[in-house]
Amino acid sequence: MTDTQTLAHALPAPSFPAPALATASALALSPALGQESGVMQGGNDGARISPGDDDHSDAAADAAAAPCVNRGDSAALLAADLAAHAAEAAAWRAAAQHARLAAAQQAERHERALASYETRVAALEDSPAYRLGDALLQRWRKPQRWLGMPAALLALRRPATRLAPAIPTLTDAAPAHDAALEQVPPLAALPPLPRLSPTALSRAEAQAARKAAQHERRAQIARADAHAARARALRQSDPVAAAQAAQEAHAADPQPWRAKWLAFRLYDAGELTRPAALLAGLPADTALSGSESSRAQQIQALAAMAQALPDLPPMAAPAYDPRPQSLLYCAASALPWHTSGYTTRT
């Protein structure tokens, strides 16, 4: 039992009001007040009041009290008052100490209960039944883990709990550690490294170069995929930025299917010559869907028409014909300069 618990059991709970204790302590601890009371009872010997004298009782009391009031010692009364306040403060201090001890006991009981619950939970989680159920749930959630089920069942046969080695204290461990350091033999000289032949060195260099190339290739593919994702996100809102992102993806990973995708993004951005050149340079075995094939033919046809425009005869400018109270309105719908329902559908 701790010192706090011993003091709490030894100190009983206060079951009396503090003002009553203050009054009792004041009467018991103030000798000046007792002397003043004695003066009031026997200060006037010639005017003692007997129990049977009913006629002169009030007058005798007044006569006995008057000299006391006149000769009252203010210092004695002040000392009695201070003693009463001191007793009251002592009573409140005792009550506060008892409350603090009760709170400490309650906190200690709470900590013990929490530690007990944690110990029970740890024992439950380390039990074979819990481990078996957890293994079954893990395999049920991810069926590819069923291959590791025999190893999990074999682990259940091992002891559920393993005793941890005792941790020595600092004072006990320090001398043993120093003695162990003194018994350690000096380090022996390391043997020289074996000399590699030129063939082994070239093989190691080739393997290192191959791994570095693989790493760089994976990094290039990752960068290209990131640019392609940005292009897909900007395809509808900003075709020019989408074409730039697609061009960066093709530069990081120049694959035929990336070139095909770049050609379509450049055409959406308003270009015609570069998309046709990219589509013409694709390998013959590049896979194209039906819509992609028709779109590629359209781009190549438009590019050929733009390179060989037909010759049109010059025409005379028509005479200016003003039309008052009229307005000419041209509704242009062409990507990427105009974005509307018509342009996005066609």
Give 316: exposed, middle or buried? Use CB within 10 Å, 0-12, 13-18, 19+: exposed
- Contact (Cβ atoms closer than 8 angstroms) between residue 288 and residue 296: yes
Task: Mean pLDDT check: name the lowest of 44-58, 186-200, 256-270.
Answer: 44-58
Q: What is the mean pLDDT of residues 54-62?
A: 45
pLDDT surpassing 50 at residue 230: yes
- Contact (Cβ atoms closer than 8 angstroms) between residue 26 and residue 77: no
Output the CA–CA distances (angstroms, integers) from residue 272 to 15, 259, 267, 278, 309, in the order listed: 100, 14, 6, 10, 14
Q: How many CB atoms lie within 10 A of CB 80?
A: 19
Q: What is the mean pLDDT of residues 187-198?
A: 65
pLDDT of residue 13: 45
Cα angle, residue 144 at apex, residues 141 and 147 outer, rounded to 5°: 115
pLDDT of residue 132: 79
Percent of the chain past pLDDT 70, that is, above it, reads: 62
Q: DSSP per residue over 231-278, as a string?
A: HHHTTTT-HHHHHHHHHHHHHHS--HHHHHHHHHHHHHTT--HHHHHH
Task: Mean pLDDT check: name the lowest of 34-43, 87-96, 164-173.
Answer: 34-43
Q: Which residue has the higher pLDDT, 134 or 44?
A: 134
Alpha helix ranges (H) inside the chain: 3-10, 18-29, 31-42, 57-70, 74-125, 128-141, 149-156, 170-183, 198-233, 239-252, 256-268, 273-280, 290-307, 341-345
pLDDT of residue 345: 64
pLDDT of residue 159: 54
Q: How much is the pTM?
A: 0.36
Amino acid letter, 114: L
pLDDT of residue 64: 46
pLDDT surpassing 50 at residue 332: yes
Q: What is the mean pLDDT of residues 237-250?
A: 92
DSSP designation for 285: T
What is the phi/psi pair of residue 221, to 5°?
-65, -40
pLDDT of residue 244: 93
Mean pLDDT of the chain: 72
* pLDDT one-digit tens code per residue, 276-329: 999 999 998 888 888 989 999 999 999 988 888 878 888 888 788 888 888 877
- Contact (Cβ atoms closer than 8 angstroms) between residue 134 and residue 127: no
Domain boundaries, the chain: 3-48+57-123, 126-161, 201-284+291-306
* pLDDT one-digit tens code per residue, 111-165: 888 888 888 888 888 777 787 777 777 777 777 777 777 777 777 765 544 545 5
pLDDT surpassing 60 at residue 66: no
pLDDT of residue 127: 79
